Amino acid sequence: MSRNQPTIADVARVAGVSRATASRAINNGPGASEPLRERVRAAVAELGYQPDETARALATGRQRAVDVIAVSYGSSAGWLGTHPYFSRVLAGMMPVLEGVNAQLRLHAVGQENAAEEIEEIAANATLGAVLADITPALATRFHRRSRRVVSMVPTATAVPAVQADNIGGADAAVSRLHELGCRRIAAIHGPDLNPCAIDRRAGYLQAVQRLGLPDLSADGGFLREGGYRAAQQLLAQHPDIDAMFVACDLMAAGAIQAITAGGRRVPDEVSVIGFDDSIAAVCANPPLTTMRLPVEEMAAAATRLLLAGTPATGHRQRFPVELVVRASTRK
Amino acid sequence: MSRNQPTIADVARVAGVSRATASRAINNGPGASEPLRERVRAAVAELGYQPDETARALATGRQRAVDVIAVSYGSSAGWLGTHPYFSRVLAGMMPVLEGVNAQLRLHAVGQENAAEEIEEIAANATLGAVLADITPALATRFHRRSRRVVSMVPTATAVPAVQADNIGGADAAVSRLHELGCRRIAAIHGPDLNPCAIDRRAGYLQAVQRLGLPDLSADGGFLREGGYRAAQQLLAQHPDIDAMFVACDLMAAGAIQAITAGGRRVPDEVSVIGFDDSIAAVCANPPLTTMRLPVEEMAAAATRLLLAGTPATGHRQRFPVELVVRASTRK
DNA sequence: ATGAAAGCGCTAACAA
DNA sequence: TTGTTAGCGCTTTCAT
């Protein structure tokens, strides 16, 4: 570094006080007279002094940063860039970090050496970490090293988490479709190993079983292309499908494209209901009826939990998943 | 902090060497014999030692972090969360930061006290900052305090920048529509003050003028709702429109919804061409033909520039904007 | 109320 | 090659 920033010693000298007094004045700490505080303020302004957060962090032992960890399945660029989820968690965190003088550090850890990277992040964690989409095993690993952590997806029981009712949401979606008169309700699911995908699949299965409907499932891998292909395939195999429950909006947008490209109308011939209420839902045409996952609120809650101290082991904060009606389901 | 992590002193003691030797071994520095290195490695493993990056940063004077700054016009949550742009810049940066032991710090600065926040970030910058969407005035402010900065949008001449050919891209889009036989080409523009929006508008104007077409412009504010409304209005005022150039995909997705909701077909009756090639383009139905803004590549380049040292004042790296043909334009 | 001085955990001159 | 020592810029006892 070639920065030649003024230090607190400069401020102290210009103000004609000791470094300790300068520090007290700058941090609004107790034990400094108003006249001296004023001189320090003047010196700060004159020099354009900005405290070095690194030194401050070392001296106090706490750095006031919250880490966000996302695992990059395959190429980090692909997942992080194309899935609307991450920007929503960031969007949810930023406002609560506003004005509390805390940094937001973003980490994309690769799959291979994930364990080591997690360890290192945990070792340097300060306020703590928000686990955006990590497996229970890795979450446990982090938790063992630092308890200042909260997961945003279903995880190991010990790890604090904010979680949405994915099962209930999926069930509600299918029930809704059933109320609308649909009887051949297909589903497009996410990756087998994804905790959220697992729950949404369970919710679908639970609903069709209760309602006495057939299980018409396909896999879409949480990606738009997968949703497109799955919908095509479903339509080919079961031409009488009158509705689709799609486990994420991105896939649902693809599914709608496939349905209309195949010459059927949405929602007149087939109703589609997505999951997430992400940007993909409003960009789809017709706009998607979907189950809203309150990602921003969850991320905000997770951040507040960290700001408030060390979350209790096993802590759970639940969030409802609610129906948002748009135009992809019939009246 | 109640962390009780082992320090390098513990490692040194366990390994039976001095702290200096331990440091040398840990950092693969020169001047340490293999046997001692081995003992240090063993001690590190035994204690589960992880170097404290803060202390390291203070000692070396460089913290190896790159900052990303996004200005939050209105609510920070809204903009950051709903616009696909930011996640693309993050996605572009992450891979180049991989394995170089550098953190990514994210800042959303509010509009009111933007100047101060910018100053503070600049003062604590280490590798430097990527300005995602900042005004020329603020960029200049940052540049004055730290030269380690690169803007991703058109900016003041002194500030280093990576920039795409927005004017040329917009012109090319209109030209393309003209080649396709369209003669009533409307446009939906972004915010008046947004540097990218300004250039895209200029490109449209330049093209219609050259081609002898009428200027059919409306404003959409770079948001989907704005695109929807602008398209409705355009269609009402000029029923003979046969194409639309829309300055961003998010607005274009809205425009397509408005067009089809109004009973016209895309692309048969009206062709639509967007800008960005964001997630909104592939979620739209039909999928959008668009001008691809290589955001990830630009963000990666910006990051590499910072990693390589202090970018030269006024540095410019240009990126092409290319046509991506999908289904929203007629053949 | 103020200042002197001791660290925070680490790296990097300098000595040995 | 190894160890000793002096900081990095700041906060925070502890005297005064």
For chain A, how long is the longest CA-to-CA vector?
A: 85
Using the CA of A62, which nucleotide's C1' is the nearest one? Answer: C8
Cβ-based contacts of B81 with chain A (< 8 Å): 87-88, 90-92, 296
- Could you tell me whether strands B271-276 and B316-319 are parallel, antiparallel, or unpaired per DSSP bridges? unpaired
Footprint of strand D on the protein (CB under 7 A): A 7-9, 19-20, 23-24, 26-27, 29, 49, 51-52, 55-56, 58-60; B 16-21, 24, 30-33, 35-36, 55, 58-59, 61
Statement to judge: residues B285 and B310 lie in one domain? no
Cβ-based contacts of B62 with chain A (< 8 Å): 1
Statement to judge: residues B81 and B192 lie in one domain? no
Strand C: list positions under 7 Å from protein Cβ.
1-5, 7-13
Q: Measure B31 CA to C14 C1' (Å).
A: 14
Asked, for residue B135, whether it belongs to a domain, the answer is yes
By Cβ distance, the residue of B75, B120, B285 closest to A50 is: B120
Q: Burial code of B163-200, b = ≥16 C-beta within 10 A, e = fewer?
A: bbbbbbbbbbbbbbbbebebebbbbbbbbeebbbbbbb
Q: Which residues contact A26 (CB under 8 A, 6 or more apart)?
A: A8, A11, A40, A44, A51
Predicted TM-score (pTM) of the model is 0.91
Statement to judge: residues A200 and A108 lie in one domain? no
Statement to judge: residues A139 and A284 lie in one domain? no
Asked, for residue A56, whether it belongs to a domain, the answer is no
In the 8-state DSSP scheme, what is residue A293? Answer: P
User: What CATH number did the domain enclosing B132 receive?
Assistant: 3.40.50.2300
CB of B108 within 8 A of CB of B81? Answer: no
In the 8-state DSSP scheme, what is residue B309? Answer: S
Asked, for residue B209, whether it belongs to a domain, the answer is yes
**CB within 8 Å: B94 and A75:** no
- Determine if strand C comes within 7 Å of the CB of B59: yes
Statement to judge: residues A199 and A143 lie in one domain? no
Statement to judge: residues A287 and A299 lie in one domain? no
Predicted local confidence at residue A3, as pLDDT: 46
Asked, for residue B178, whether it belongs to a domain, the answer is yes
Residue type, B74: G
Per-residue pLDDT tens digits for B261-298: 999 999 999 999 999 999 999 999 999 999 999 999 99
Dist CA A121 CA B47 (whole Å):
17
Predicted local confidence at residue A111, as pLDDT: 81
Cα three-residue angle A255-A166-A157, rounded to 5 degrees: 140
Statement to judge: residues A190 and A276 lie in one domain? yes
Domain count along chain A: 3
By Cβ distance, the residue of A1, A62, A77 closest to B92 is: A77
DSSP for B3-60, written as a single string = -----HHHHHHHHTS-HHHHHHHHTT-SS--HHHHHHHHHHHHHHT----HHHHHHHH
Return the number of other C-beta atoms located less than 10 Å from residue A41's C-beta: 14
**Domain span at B188:** 166-294
Per-residue pLDDT tens digits for A179-212: 999 999 999 999 998 899 999 999 999 999 999 9
Asked, for residue B54, whether it belongs to a domain, the answer is no
Cα three-residue angle A247-A252-A258, rounded to 5 degrees: 135
Asked, for residue A324, whether it belongs to a domain, the answer is no
Q: How many CB pairs under 8 A join A and B?
A: 167
Statement to judge: residues B117 and B159 lie in one domain? yes
CB of A111 within 8 A of CB of A72? Answer: yes
Dist CA B95 CA B294 (whole Å):
15
For chain B, how long is the longest CA-to-CA vector?
A: 85
Asked, for residue B230, whether it belongs to a domain, the answer is yes
Statement to judge: residues B134 and B15 lie in one domain? no
pLDDT above 70 (res A80)? no
Predicted local confidence at residue B100, as pLDDT: 85
**CB within 8 Å: A87 and B81:** yes
* Residues of chain B where predicted confidence (pLDDT) is lower than 50: 1-3, 75-77
pLDDT above 60 (res A78)? no
Name the pLDDT band for A81 (thresholds 50, 70, 90).
Answer: low
According to the per-residue pLDDT averaged within each range, which of A80-94, A156-170, B38-52 is highest?
Answer: A156-170
**H-type helices in chain A, by residue range?**
8-15, 19-26, 34-47, 53-60, 76-82, 85-97, 114-123, 136-145, 166-179, 195-211, 224-237, 249-261, 279-283, 295-308
Statement to judge: residues B149 and B250 lie in one domain? no
Asked, for residue A1, whether it belongs to a domain, the answer is no
Coil, strand or helix at A12: helix
Statement to judge: residues B303 and B156 lie in one domain? yes
